[in-house]
Structure 1
Amino acid sequence: MAELENPNMMPNLLTFLSSLLEEVAESNDVNSGFKVQKISVFHGLTRPTISIQSYLDRIHKYANCSPSCFIVAYVYLDRFAQRQPSLPINSFNVHRLLITSVMVAAKFMDDMYYNNAYYAKVGGISTIEMNFLELDFLFGLGFNLNVTPNTFHAYCSHLQRKMMVQQPPPSITAESSLSLGSIKAAHLCFNEEEPSHQNQQLAV
């Protein structure tokens, strides 16, 4: 667990998580015609042009989250998938789910975090949309945000084992299978502009 919480491990962790999410999204894209899926605020009209890897790197660069925050965000995505089986993660919603899960995890885990307007800027969406995404994500989780030490250790151990062999897992064993999901909303007009820290309140 300590290894994954080491900032030096972040590049490997981000690469692994992006690889995992790409695999899940591509699989659900292929299977989208065979399953009934709901529409949600996380779904864009088109696929964002930025890759999942680049998007995660951008979040890491500008959101200043702790390594633990990304692991907890992964736990939240897994929980969301369990509770919302008709909203599978795909290439149309994975970016919005990522920025929302990281923001919620940062608020829960970190002593300092930015306001929603700043995370919206990092994610390339409007503040209003960020607020809606946060609310929908929390309801999708059933407001189950607590991550026990045992659960955290289990996810860390699982990720460490899989990262050692560089094989993104098709499912997660700590709490559930990783079927991951969601759908709807406006097109993610991603803005490559760097977010300004000016006038952004750092919540404590």
Structure 2
Amino acid sequence: MAELENPRVMTKVITFLSSLVQRVAESNDINCEFQPQKISVFHGQTRPPIAIQGYLERIFKYADCSPSCLIVAYVYLDRFSQRQPDLPINSYNVHRLLITSVMVAAKFMDDMYYNNAYYAKVGGISTIEMNFLEVDFLFGLNFNLNVTLSTFTTYCSYLQREMLLVQPPLDSADSSLSLIKSLKLHLCFDEGETSHQQQQLAV
């Protein structure tokens, strides 16, 4: 798992995930000028001053979640968007969606995780707001939190292809390809433990 301990390759993954989410948000910013969108608890009155990449870097640094949590959080964001087409990801809600998705992923996957008050502090919001965001996010997903190894591998493979198209690896020791393979191995996820993990999702 040496690749997972290398901050350079994790920075690459965070950078690329941020880029993907930002492109979606910017695209929906344009669409919202022509199509009315529902306002939710995830929407802020103004766009947060911190960039998406900086925000995701902050979350990963202080939340101390496993690297695989970022991939699972991305899966959750995708599911949420598909189930809530009237709440597209945009510049006004993306930060709250990111902190919530990572927190839920950490609770579902990791043996050790911080409470809502800590995540609220990391995300720059109140604990009460964090609690509301978590509940709305879970209902928005219809509590569909299980990520099978097959699903995880599919998302990793997609990220792997996209990352290699943007920047082919110069060597195997420090490549996005190596990291994605390691993320797959890092997913110590027994599908038989789903019920136990769901019980850990108490606010």
Q: Structure 1 length as normaliser, TM-score?
A: 0.78
Residue 123 of structure 1 corresponds to which residue in structure 2?
A: 123
1:146 alignment partner in structure 2: 146
Give the distance between the partners of 2:135 and 2:166, measured in 1 at CA: 34
Q: Aligned partner of 1:117: which letter?
A: A
3-state DSSP of counterpart to 1:113 = coil
Structure with bigger gyration radius: 2
Aligned counterparts of 1:6 and 1:155: Cα–Cα separation in 2? 17
1:13 partner SS = helix
Given that residues 42 and 93 in structure 1 are in contact (C-alpha distance below 8 angstroms), is that contact kept between their aligned partners in structure 2?
yes
Find the counterpart in structure 2 of residue 199 from structure 1.
none
- The structural deviation recorded for 1:114 is 0.2
Q: Which of the pair has the greater relative contact order for Cα pairs under 8 Å at 6+ separation? A: 1
Distance between the aligned counterparts of 1:140 and 1:75, measured in 2?
13
1:11-34 per-position Cα deviation (integer Å, ceiling 9, x unaligned): 111000111111111111111022
Give the CA deviation at 1:157: 0.8
Match of 2:56 in 1: 56
Q: TM-score under structure 2 normalisation?
A: 0.79
Off by >4 Å, runs of 4+ in structure 1: none
Deviation by residue 1:141-194 (Cα, 9 ceiling, x = unmatched): 000000001000110111011111128xxxxxxxxxxxxxxxxxxxxxxxxxxx
Give unmatched runs, 5+ long, in structure 1: 168-202
Q: 1:35 to 1:7 in 2, by over 3 A?
A: farther
Which secondary structure does the structure 2 equivalent of 1:20 belong to? helix
Q: Residue 26 of structure 1 corresponds to which residue in structure 2?
A: 26
Task: State the match for 1:6 in structure 2.
Answer: 4
- The answer for the alignment partner of 2:102 in structure 1 is 102
Report the AA paired with residue 155 of structure 1: Y
Q: Give the partner amino acid of 1:6.
A: L
1:187-198 matches, within 5 Å, as none
Q: Which moved more, 1:158-167 or 1:47-56?
A: 158-167
Alignment of 1:35-184 (within 5 A): 35-166=35-166
Q: CA deviation at 1:36?
A: 2.7
The Cα shift of 1:7 comes to 3.7
- Measure the CA separation in 1 of the matches of 2:46 and 2:144: 30
Cα distance in structure 1, aligned partners of 2:66 and 2:137 = 21
User: What residue ranges of structure 2 are gaps of 5+ in the alignment?
Assistant: 168-201
In structure 2, relative to structure 1, the CA distance for the partners of 1:7 and 1:74 (3 Å cut) is: farther
Q: Deviations over 1:44-93 (max 9, x none)?
A: 00000000010001001100011100000000000000000011100000
Aligned residues: 166
Higher helix share: 2
Matched position secondary structure for 1:47: coil
The percentage of aligned residue pairs carrying the same residue is 77
